Amino acid sequence: MDFFNSLLNFIVPPASMVMLAFSWPTLSFIHGLEWLFRSLSKENMEDKVVLITGASSAIGEQIAYEYAKKKANLVLVARRDHRLRGIRENARLLGAKTVLIMAADVVKEDECRRFVGDTISYFGHLDHLVNTASLGHTFYFDEAHDTSVFPHLMDINFWGNVYPTCVSLPYLKQSQGRIVVNASVESWMPMPRMSLYAAAKAAVISFYESLRFEVKDEVGITIATHGWIGSEMSTGQFMLEEGSEMQWKAEREAPSTGSHVEEFAKMIVAGACRGDSYVKYPSWYDTFLLYRVFSPDVLSWTFRLLFASHGTRKLSHTGTSQPLLEGPPPRKLLTAPPTAVQYQQRG
């Protein structure tokens, strides 16, 4: 057996490269035809029900607006319910039929069961579940003196996807719906000061890749991966207060909207409606994945060169008691007079 594996180690990699080189044009052509067919028969979201977690800012907010333009019914879930009020108004002005807002913590299974149950009670069905709740960090691992923050990073980034999916899955099977996941290229591409975040995102992608085979064609799964797009998640280090409640100490001002975030949100919703398995922004990041598989040393040398430190590292404040900055001011609403459907519930 050892001889057989050694022989395969010698034969399979170069043979696979040759086969890939010859088949790549044909596969690209077939993929293009599939993309064209799905674009012509994309899902009509009018009156469909879309539940979005992490909808209070950044990518979750922009995804809500994109679904609103398609006249979907929205259920917006986040811890910061005061931020959801303004987003609800904007979504209605953009075309959403009904917008419910619910304050909940996605890392608590009972609260996930509550907001999914309330959604079914109100609408009777669920078509798309969009998981965007994420929590990043900007500290070096060896500077993290308070290890109590580690489980919270995994809770938000991993279990904050798994629990809503677990509760929603029976209803998504009934409607032959779709799960949309906000992941990141850090799941396979090394980045300094993002070790725990990268590990959590890798776990998320592995979970949904496996789930895709389990549910087969009953529920579609769209995994969206992005590079650096800018969002509140990347504005600074975080401080921990009262369990899983996260507050921010910003290193610089970074708006939760921007051309890159909005463009990525458009790509995610368009890809979900087409039934795409993956949405990647920007797609040229895949080049690094090829290097990781076939020439990992080259990738390692490249990133060591790119991320070489030319000065003193900026120390992390994780686990300290320095004062926190207040959240950003409320967003200016679009102007129009329609009445709003309000639905709030606290655990």
- Span 18-25, mean pLDDT? 84
Q: Which residues contact 341 (CB under 8 A, 6 or more apart)?
A: 92, 98, 99, 100
The answer to whether 276 touches 222, Cβ cutoff 8 Å, is yes
Q: Are strands 236-240 and 246-250 parallel, antiparallel or unpaired?
A: antiparallel
Which of residues 255 and 287 earns the better pLDDT score? Answer: 287
Domains detected in the chain:
1-41 (no CATH), 45-306 (3.40.50.720)
Among 171-175, 243-247, 258-262, the least confident range? 243-247
What is d(CA 77, CA 318) in angstroms, rounded to the nearest whole number? 27
Residue 342 has pLDDT above 50, yes or no: no
Which residues are known to be catalytic? 197
Each residue of 107-157: pLDDT tens digit? Answer: 999 999 999 999 999 999 999 999 998 888 888 888 888 888 889 889 999
Amino acid letter, residue 43: E
What is d(CA 302, CA 186) in angstroms, rounded to the nearest whole number? 16
CA angle 149, 129, 242 (to 5 degrees): 25
What is d(CA 77, CA 105) in angstroms, rounded to the nearest whole number? 8
3-state SS string for the chain: CHHHHHHHHHHHHHHHHHHHHHHHHHHHHHHHHHHHHHHHCCCCCCCCEEEEECCCCHHHHHHHHHHHHCCCEEEEEECCHHHHHHHHHHHHHHCCCCEEEEECCCCCHHHHHHHHHHHHHHHCCCCEEEECCCCCCCCCHHHCCCCCHHHHHHHHHHHHHHHHHHHHHHHHHHHCCEEEEECCHHHCCCCCCCHHHHHHHHHHHHHHHHHHHHHCCCCEEEEEEECCCCCHHHCEEEEECCCCCEEEEECCCCCCCCHHHHHHHHHHHHHHHHCCCEEEECHHHHHHHHHHHHCHHHHHHHHHHHCCCCCCCCCCCCCCCCCCCCCCCCCCCCCCCCCCCCCCCCC
What is d(CA 226, CA 191) in angstroms, rounded to the nearest whole number? 13
The answer to whether 204 touches 183, Cβ cutoff 8 Å, is yes
Residue 88 has pLDDT above 90, yes or no: yes
Residue 209 has pLDDT above 70, yes or no: yes
Could you tell me the end-to-end alpha-carbon distance of the chain, in angstroms, rounded to an integer? 57
Nearest to 275 by CA among 40, 20, 63, 21: 40
Each residue of 144-199: pLDDT tens digit? Answer: 888 888 898 899 999 999 999 999 999 999 999 999 999 888 777 777 788 888 89
Work out the mean pLDDT of the chain and round it to a whole number.
80
What is d(CA 152, CA 154) in angstroms, rounded to the nearest whole number? 5
Report helix angle 160-175 to 195-215, nearest 10: 20
Q: Which residues contact 284 (CB under 8 A, 6 or more apart)?
A: none
Which residue(s) pair with 246 in the sheet? 240
- Span 45-61, mean pLDDT? 92
The answer to whether 88 touches 64, Cβ cutoff 8 Å, is no
What is d(CA 126, CA 194) in angstroms, rounded to the nearest whole number? 34
- Span 38-66, mean pLDDT? 91
pLDDT tier for residue 256 given thresholds of 50, 70 and 90 = very low
- Span 78-87, mean pLDDT? 89
